[in-house]
A and B are shown apart, each in its own frame.
Chain A
Amino acid sequence: MKIVVCVKQVPDTKGGVKFNPDGTLDRGAMLTIMNPDDKAGLEAALRLKDQYGAEVTVLTMGLPKAEEVLREAIAMGADKGILVTDRVLGGADTWATSQTLAGALRNLDYDLIITGRQAIDGDTAQVGPQISEHLGIPVISYAQKIEVEGDSVIVERQFDDRYHVLKAKMPCLITALAELNEPRYMTPGGIFDAYKADITVWGRADLKDVDDSNLGLKGSPTQIAKASDKVRKGAGEKVNLDAAASVDYIIDKLKVKHVI
């Protein structure tokens, strides 16, 4: 079985976000990580590899620095890494990003493509389903359990108040939730392999069956009209009283506001 996992290098938003004076994101000042949902997708692929035997390829699109997440993936147990990087691909929205990744995937053999549900920088959850559309294969998003049965996958798919157990013929694309599993750590042998590994680097010319009009900033249907720091409503009153006085304070406010 051949599995391709799409991963993204993202700024770690946990520590807050840093901005340049002009309001753009200061990516250089922020630590980067492998996107958590993507890491869960990689772990799911590695478990399928452990259980059924598989070749796991990790694919990313980004700046040359994004090679770091491919080496991390190899250190965890992935077999190969492919980096798609090219100036003309920059500024892509989800449409252009999914076109780029689909163009790369057309060069590869795959039974299963796994992506994370969404990246923590954009939170769109669009690229996985859009890749599947461009490739004409089924998608199962929000996977919470994945099994292989013959030429099909059986996936538990999470909805708000229920889950569906779905069966899809491979090739198929699955999007994974961070809750799917606990990703393994890199192993010392894996880190050694990762250090030695050759990362395949592809540019625009290596993408198959994609028109220039669908790539990069120019190929992006959505455009940013405005970006700004979120304006919050701001703090109201703050009191530091003993318990009884605190209770009286709250009850007074509930009365003033006609809640009680």
Chain B
Amino acid sequence: MNIQDYKGVFVFAQQVDNELSGIALELVGKGKDLAKDLGTEVTAVLVGSGIKGLADELAEYGADKVIVVDDPELKEYRTEPYAHALASVINEFKPEIFLVGATAIGRDLGPRVSARIHTGLTADCTQLDIGDFPINPIPGKEQLHNQLLMTRPAFGGNTIATIACPNFRPQMATVRPGVMQKAERVPGAKAEVIEFNPGFTPDNKYVEILKIVKSVSDVADIMDAKILVSGGRGVGSAENFKLLDDLAEVLGGTVSCSRAVVDAGWKPKDLQVGQTGKTVRPNVYFAIGISGAIQHVAGMEESDIIIAINKDESAPIFDVADYGIVGDLNKIVPALTEKLKAELANK
């Protein structure tokens, strides 16, 4: 492998049902920053069937180029044809960096692709920088420049590690959704569109899709919410979440929850914040009856304002809260809702 042959920042532009996933635009945004630091371009790789029309949206969010792999075999996500598409793009275009979202699709696809092309893959990154490796010079060891430094939580969020991939290309990472920022949309911006089809021949590795069952959910995505009213085990019951629903309604917010609540069956998994749920960064995060286990905190600590209500004065959630209120949520939350109603009615 001649590392100098590998140029440019590529991102996998995940789409589902021919709609771009939020992570696709977040990766274009981050890829643009990295490309700027390296003096190169960001290329989005769009894979699916009948998806060429999405290239313009990627361009408006900052993609310099869009590689489109369009084939009927790619209509629904399946590991093998998608892995073949990405591995073929990498072999053909030789990017120095390749980013994939740490979604259910990306965490399946990323390892399969990195194993096929023999490179490293860093999972669930929350920060990406261009820098030196080793970070500080070590006598007798060459310090490499312009390396991708990939930072991720490990050991259940107790530590953070920064990883480099100095001797293999591309440097690959999966990136947690909701952590990177989309760029400002530039209406009418255009990208160079390159169509590429490596050919798809089904073999033993192609699985057959017998059925697709979509969960019917009219709930807003908690990752898009500006205000989250989040409840934990301390809320006490599924019925008692009514208190949180009412508060969220007054504030135009959305209800979310901790893992304990999902485990208890009070709320569905797609409302779960944390290490095994979603990463959120709303303007305001109410943590109500949430003790603040490290796995939960890992998913919400980037929120602009954290307001915690908990009757246990020593709950670890108070260690990350901007405003901590020790008290009974059953008294405070309904009173807060009523008073806010009055306040907002006067405006």
Contact = CB atoms under 8 A, between A and B. Distances in A.
Interface stretch (A41-49, A63-71, A72-80, A161-169): A161-169
A221 B321 CA distance: 39
Interface string B59-83: 0000000000000000011111001
B91 to A, nearest CB: 15
Interface in B206-241: 206-215, 217, 227
Interface string B182-221: 0000000000000000000000111111111111010000
Contact of B165 (A129, A158, A222): A222
Given A124-B123, A247-B339, A235 B331 contact: no
A88 interface: no
A237 B319 CA distance: 9
Contacts of B116: 133
A236 B301 CA distance: 13
Contact of A17 (B114, B159, B319): B159
A167 B120 CA distance: 30
A260 B347 CA distance: 9
A133 B83 CA distance: 10
A230 B156 contact: no
Given A17-B159, A226-B135, A250 B120 contact: no
Contacts of B118: 95, 221
Interface of B: 76-80, 83, 103-105, 107-108, 110-112, 114-116, 118-124, 133-135, 149, 153-168, 204-215, 217, 227, 251, 270, 275, 283-284, 294, 297, 301, 305-307, 309, 313, 318-328, 331-332, 335-336, 339-340, 343-344
14 contacts: A16-B158, A95-B114, A95-B115, A124-B124, A133-B115, A138-B79, A159-B104, A166-B209, A168-B207, A222-B164, A232-B320, A236-B321, A238-B325, A246-B325
Interface of A: 11, 13-14, 16-17, 25, 93-95, 98, 120-130, 132-134, 136-142, 154, 158-169, 220-230, 232-244, 246-251, 253-254, 257, 259-260
